[in-house]
Structure 1
Amino acid sequence: MSFTSEVKKQICKEPTDRNQARAQICALFQMRASMHMNFRGMSVSYQTENATIAKHLFQMLKQVYEVNPRLSVIRNMRLKKSNMYRVEIYDKASEILDDLGILTDTGIHYKPLGRLIRSDKMARAYLCGCFLASGSINDPKTANYHLEMSTTESELAQSVQHLMERYHLPAKITKRKKYEVVYLKAGDKIADFLRLCNASQALFEFEDSRIQRDFFNQMTRLDNCEVANEMKTQKAAKKQLEAIAILEANPQKVDISEKIRHVMEIRKQFPDASMNELCEEVYRAYGDIISKSGMKHRLNRIKEMAASIQEESV
């Protein structure tokens, strides 16, 4: 089961009262339902590949509107293609759409009624319904953090975006073919959305994966930093050894103090040592206490003297 399917399964398991159920039904219908007119009158159908969502919608319709929807399975004969589950409403279809504010005397509305999202729990239920209808989340173990919900209606996408902003979820909208896609990229905000939907088990799994990934990325950055520092140290040591070789080849051209000679000897003995390690070795060999800045100054002095000899030779 995919991570998205697991999240949707957990949302469907959450109990809903009549108001929450109405908000979810509204979102599901606005996102994905179809209306039909024939000799029997108006009907509404909702089609999904997720059997849990179809069953959840079926039960909510019975709970809120006391109707008996038709639940059917459309078997896909293509190899590895999922079956489709269709929920169809014939009785009270127009009354249900009117109650949800989807179909009124002024036409079809793709923006949720204020009374359906006014309270906190109904607004959350509406967002849950939107995610059930068209949402997806990348598995945090295998991909970048990404949550999205799509619709063909621009007005509906903007409504979903504004509703998410109520919960400090900075959703953005992009166009993908005929769809308006509302999406989140930040891992912590996707976790907040899962928390909003009460998908606790999925939230724990997501946060665990996120913590492990962030820890691994941090360790990788630290390793890269250490490698870079090591390469920098080795490059600097190579130049210092080259300068020392120039000084030793031209003893008559420069006056080298005893302290500088101590540093030269230690650098030759420990070509890979860091600045702090050189300070410790100088103290161990000569009893000379030297700070890191003092060591840096003496090494720079060695390079300056070597440079002056090279200039004289040109």
Structure 2
Amino acid sequence: MSFTYDVKQEIAGADLDERQAKAQLAALLLVKAALHMNRNGTYLSFQVENASVAKHVWLLVKRLYTVEPRLAVLKKMRLKKNNIYRIVIEQGASRILEDLGILNDRGLHVKPNYDLIRSEKNARAFLQGCFLASGSVNSPRTSNYHLEISVTHRGLAESIQKLMERFFLSARITERKGLWVVYLKAGDKIGDFLRLIDASNALLQFEDLRISRDFYNQMSRLNNCELANEMKSLKAAHGQIEAIERIETLMAPEQIPPKIRAAMDIRKQYPEASLTELCDEIYKATGEVISKSGMKHRMTKIREMAASLSQDRRSSETK
């Protein structure tokens, strides 16, 4: 089963008080239900592919309104041929919508009733219902973090976005194939959302894999950085060795300043050493204390001397 399936199954098994149950059911119906009319009056239909969600909706309606919804199982004929679970509420459909603040004398509402989501726990229950109805989240095993809830009305998408902002979740909205999608891309924010909707087991799994991957990626970046620095140091050392050889070829030993001579000798002995390591070796050999910046200055001076000697030689040859 998918990670989304596991999250929904966990949410569907949570205990809710009556107000939370109504807030969650309101979200489920706003996001996924359709209102129909026939010669017998109005009725509601609700379709999902997740058996746990279908059972949960069926139990919520029966618990809150003491009606008997009809449940039908349909078979898809294309693609994966998953089952579709269709719940039909014929008895008291209008009364249920009115009680949940979705229907009144002025018609249907696509936004949640504020009284229903005023409290924090009811707001969280509403977000649970939204995710149960049409939410999805990528498996934490993938590096592409993505959680979304898709709805048919922009107004509802904006309401979900504002509700998430109450809990410091900066969701974005985009339009895709005629639907309005509210989504999160940051791994830590997706973790916060899973915590918000009480998907504790899914959260632990998500955070464990996310932290492990982020740690591995950070270590890889550090290793790459260290390797790049090491290659840079080796390249610099190779240039210093060439400069030393040029000075020794073109310049008499007594013309070389003693401190530069000491730096040249220690570099030849340790061609792959870092500047810090060269400072240590000079101290061991001569007792002189020199800083890293001091050693860098001497190496720069060696390269400048070599460049000056090469230029003088070319000038004399030209003459």
TM-score by length of 2: 0.95
SS at match of 1:141: coil
SS at match of 2:168: coil
Q: Are 1:307 and 2:273 an aligned pair?
A: no
SS at match of 1:42: strand
Q: Aligned-pair distance for 1:80?
A: 3.0
Q: Are 1:170 and 2:170 an aligned pair?
A: yes
Could you tell me which amino acid in structure 1 is paired with residue 285 of structure 2? A
Q: Are 1:76 and 2:76 an aligned pair?
A: yes
- How far apart, in 2, do the equivalents of 1:313 and 1:31 lie? 83
2:48 counterpart residue number: 48
Q: Aligned-pair distance for 1:29?
A: 0.8
Structure 1 residues 311, 253: CA separation in 2 closer, same or farther (over 3 Å shift)?
farther
SS at match of 2:272: coil
Q: Aligned-pair distance for 1:195?
A: 1.0
TM-score by length of 1: 0.96
- How far apart, in 1, do the equivalents of 2:28 and 2:170 lie? 22
Structure 1 residues 284, 92: CA separation in 2 closer, same or farther (over 3 Å shift)?
same
Deviations 1:19-39 (A, max 9, x none): 111111111111111111112
2:96 counterpart residue number: 96
| Structure 1 segment 143-292 matched on structure 2, within 5 A | 143-252=143-252, 255-292=255-292
C-alpha contact 1:172 1:182 (8 A) present in aligned 2: yes
* Equivalenced residues, count: 314
2:85 counterpart residue number: 85
Range moving further from structure 2, 169-178 or 260-269: 260-269
Percent of aligned positions that are identical:
57
- How far apart, in 2, do the equivalents of 1:138 and 1:262 lie? 61
2:2 counterpart residue number: 2
- How far apart, in 2, do the equivalents of 1:100 and 1:234 lie? 72
- How far apart, in 2, do the equivalents of 1:81 and 1:272 lie? 64
2:317 counterpart residue number: none
C-alpha contact 1:247 1:254 (8 A) present in aligned 2: no
2:34 counterpart residue number: 34
- How far apart, in 2, do the equivalents of 1:310 and 1:18 lie? 89
- Could you say what the CA RMSD is over the residues aligned between the two structures, in angstroms? 1.5
Could you tell me which amino acid in structure 2 is paired with residue 23 of structure 1? A
Q: Aligned-pair distance for 1:277?
A: 1.2
Could you tell me which amino acid in structure 2 is paired with residue 174 of structure 1? T
SS at match of 1:22: helix
Structure 2: where are the runs of 5+ without partners? 315-319
- How far apart, in 1, do the equivalents of 2:273 and 2:253 lie? 28
Q: Are 1:141 and 2:164 an aligned pair?
A: no
Q: Aligned-pair distance for 1:121?
A: 1.2
Q: Aligned-pair distance for 1:284?
A: 2.7
- How far apart, in 2, do the equivalents of 1:254 and 1:162 lie? 79
Q: Aligned-pair distance for 1:180?
A: 0.9
- How far apart, in 1, do the equivalents of 2:180 and 2:301 lie? 65
